[in-house]
Chains A and B, each alone.
Chain A
Amino acid sequence: MLAIILTNLRRRLTRTLLTAAGIAVGVATIVALLSFTQGLSESAAGFVHLGGAELGVFQANVSEPATSLLPESTVGRLRALPQVADATPLLLIVEGVKRDPAAVVFGAEPDGFFSRQLVIVAGRRPNEVSEATHAAAHQALIGDRLAAQLKLGPGGVLAVKGRAYTVVGVYHSGILFEDAGAILGLRDAQALTQRAGEATDVIVSLSPGAHTDATAKAIERALPGTQTITNAQQAVRAGANGTLISKAILAIVAIAIIVGVIGVANTMAMAIAERRAELGLLSTVGWSPVRVAGLILGEGVAVSVLGAAGGLLLGVIGGDLLVRALGVSSYVSPSVTAWGLGRGLLVGVAIGVLGGIYPAWRVTRMTPLKALSGT
């Protein structure tokens, strides 16, 4: 049976390859989008745990965590809670670096735990004196990934929103978008964005023995109008845009499946129309309708497996191209998992099965004589 299936596919090589290519595009779309969402989730996890924090405090009911605004006084109120070991404010500036719009610039206290955990790999930390006097230092630390991309090092100049900052050091944190971004002093960042006395969020490290979820609830009770995010899933849910992206991706995946199914069904239906006499002969010599239908279904699945294999490869490449095309390579690194590839393969095979069912059913409805006559 397998030999006949493969022979039939080889006999119509162009059609086989074109159908497989159609399926490959569908599977590649699915794999690329799944790797993108997986990367998004992992980035969200990094966003929550910036500086080794256990949780982040944001303004409640914002469309995106990055658009949150909190008064700087929140930090003192958080530090007063017994479950909180330390808290430090962050001010996020997106699309501030013209040469790499995907880079995120963080405004952070130089003596806060966010800055302290950075490993300086070249140069030094910014002058603390300037921060203590609340004067603008016009100094910046730059992540090693961004430094490599912009070919900047200590002594170089980083332009953020058109203002020049002297790079005094290069750091590595191990978190993708931290290393692909830069850090200014909190005062510099507030001055640049005209947000004096405000922060995007406050990251919190917990006292020994404090439970994350219980602390999060205690914070939300103590600070009405805030929301706490403790894990990646919450981070994705908290962002309306993230939710929108997830739903859009689901819709695209559904469309890719539908288009794939229609493509395979169309190909198999045409193949049957061309081969009615051949299928009629198989029935005449005693092949049961189930066996003839199995041949058609088998051909559909074989084409789909071929397409899915190509699609997996394309999808891995496509995921990388997608983040570059969207200009989010600094936030998201596509993450290809075995389950993601497995889902792509399953979808490919499902396309073959679903697309082959109707043509196969049609074959079982034909009498051998009608099929042999080719009418």
Chain B
Amino acid sequence: MNTRSGAEVLAEGVSKRFGRIVALREASLRVGPGEAVVITGRSGSGKSTLLALLGGLDRPDSGRVLIDGQSTWSERHPARLRRELIGFVFQRHLLLQTLSAQANVEVPLLGAGRPRGERRERARELLGEVGLADRAEHVPAQLSGGERQRVAIARALANQPRLLLADEPTGALDSATSERILELLFGLRDRLGMTMILVSYDAAIGPRADRTVTIADGVLRDESLPAVGTAAGEAR
């Protein structure tokens, strides 16, 4: 499989609120090219919101997120940025239920306008990469939880991302399966050289990464940067 260098991610003073709830308060984070960072925190601490903002899935209320110097929301086409630079893995695998594993992996390639032959070849290659070459024609209902997550990982890698964002990728799996998924993710990161940011409530994942940052009540603590922000939670 081809490798691409990892992307640099920079978040500066990013805040986000949903109605009266402050989900993130002036969070700043820098992740270097090829670095693997785990963001940990309790449920509702704002870590998934941060990941969504880093991936350009939502617009920050203030502050900015840059990926290799490109702002995720000032770009005219944030979808293009996601398509060209970022792969996503979620706790819920979010596979399209009526499509086969092969077709699910092809979906991002279809969005990129790749020709059919190339899509098929690439999807087969990726399914082989995650150990599911013999399950290509199976629909999600015919796959186990771990296998579905492997398909989701293959899908995330379809467009050769330089940044992989994983939101609780093992949250819905048993411990043995979780272990295999984490091995797969970190192994892929090592071989492909992409930057990886992984969100998990499980601090035990931390030692696998290059660095761990914690988030509590919307306030991020990154040891590599001076801490900013003092409080978060429900606005009063």
**Which residues from chain A sit less than 8 Å from chain B, CB to CB?**
1, 3-4, 7-8, 10-11, 277-278, 281-289, 291, 367-370, 372
Are B59 and A288 interface neighbours, CB within 8 A?
A: no
Q: Please tell me if the beta carbons of B107 and A288 are within 8 angstroms of each other in the complex.
A: no
User: Does B214 belong to the interface (CB within 8 Å)?
Assistant: no
Residue B120 is within 8 A (CB to CB) of chain A in the complex: no
Q: Give the number of A-B contacts (CB < 8 Å).
A: 67
Residue numbers in A under 8 Å from B88 (CB-CB): 284-285
Q: Are A372 and B94 in contact (CB under 8 A)?
A: yes
B57, A288: Cβ atoms closer than 8 Å: no
Q: Name B156's closest neighbour in chain A (CB-CB).
A: A285
Interface string of B122-150 (1 = CB under 8 A from A): 00000000000000000000000000000
Residue in contact with B59 in the complex, picked from A282, A286, A367, CB distance below 8 Å: A367
CA gap between A286 and B113 in the complex, in Å: 11
Given contacts A277-B94, A288-B111, contact A283 B99 (CB under 8 A): no
The distance from the CB of A203 to the nearest CB of chain B, in whole angstroms, is: 67
Interface contact A286-B82, CB-CB below 8 Å: yes
Q: What residues of B have a CB within 8 angstroms of the CB of A3 in the complex?
A: 103
Find out whether the CB atom of A286 lies under 8 angstroms from the CB atom of B57: no
Per the bound structure, the CA–CA distance linking A288 and B108 in Å amounts to 11
- Other 12 A-B pairs with CB < 8 A, given A282-B111, A287-B110: A3-B103, A284-B82, A284-B88, A285-B82, A285-B108, A285-B155, A286-B112, A286-B159, A287-B83, A288-B77, A368-B82, A369-B58
Flag if A367 contacts B57 (CB, 8 Å): yes
B84 at the interface (CB under 8 A from A): yes
- Counting chain A CB atoms within 10 Å of each CB, the highest count among B57, B83, B98, B103 belongs to B57
Q: How far is the CB of A372 from chain B (nearest CB, A)?
A: 7
Given contacts A284-B57, A288-B80, A367-B57, contact A7 B98 (CB under 8 A): yes
Interface residue ranges of B95-124 to A (CB < 8 Å):
96-99, 103, 107-108, 110-112
- Return the contact of B58 from the options A1, A288, A367 (Cβ within 8 A): A367
Q: Is A285 in contact with B107, judged by CB distance below 8 angstroms?
A: yes
Q: Once the chains are docked, how many angstroms separate the CA of A369 from the CA of B24? A: 15
Contact call B111/A368, Cβ cutoff below 8 A: no
CB within 8 Å for A289 and B79 given contacts A282-B111, A369-B58, A372-B57: yes
